[in-house]
Amino acid sequence: GAVVSQHPSRVICKSGTSVKIECRSLDFQATTMFWYRQFPKQSLMLMATSNEGSKATYEQGVEKDKFLINHASLTLSTLTVTSAHPEDSSFYICSAERRDSYEQYFGPGTRLTVT
């Protein structure tokens, strides 16, 4: 149990377009989901925390108007990168926290390339 999926796994888009990434907890309910960004050979940096039915909490330095997060249900959160630029190219990873534990379960990640 405790499987988290992300879709798509890879996406290439043109500069100026928007991209939506989905994060789903497949076999458990997640009241909280987290979005991370990882640059090559670096650690994960938390971008935002989202709770089902409420606005996301963004980390300092993360533009909330650029990285739109929606957590519409207990099993789905989406991250939309708006007006993407090449510097937004990165590996985006989500995680979901089970309602009954303190553990986070991570998705497989989405490789975004903006050309």
Give the binding site for other proteins (CB under 8 A): 4, 6, 31-32, 34, 41-44, 46, 49, 51, 91, 93, 95, 97, 102-109, 111
Nearer to other proteins by Cβ, of 6 and 81: the residue is: 6
**φ and ψ of 88, to 5 deg:** -85, -10
CB nearer to other proteins: pick between 66 and 111: 111
Least distance between other proteins and beta carbon 46 (Å)? 6
Distance CA 110, CA 21 (A): 7
Task: Decide if 93 contacts 62 (C-beta within 8 A).
Answer: no
Query: Which CB sits closer to other proteins, 101 or 115?
Result: 101
CB of 83 to other proteins, least distance (A): 26
CA angle 29, 34, 36 (to 5 degrees): 145
- How far, in Å, CA of 71 to CA of 31, rounded? 9
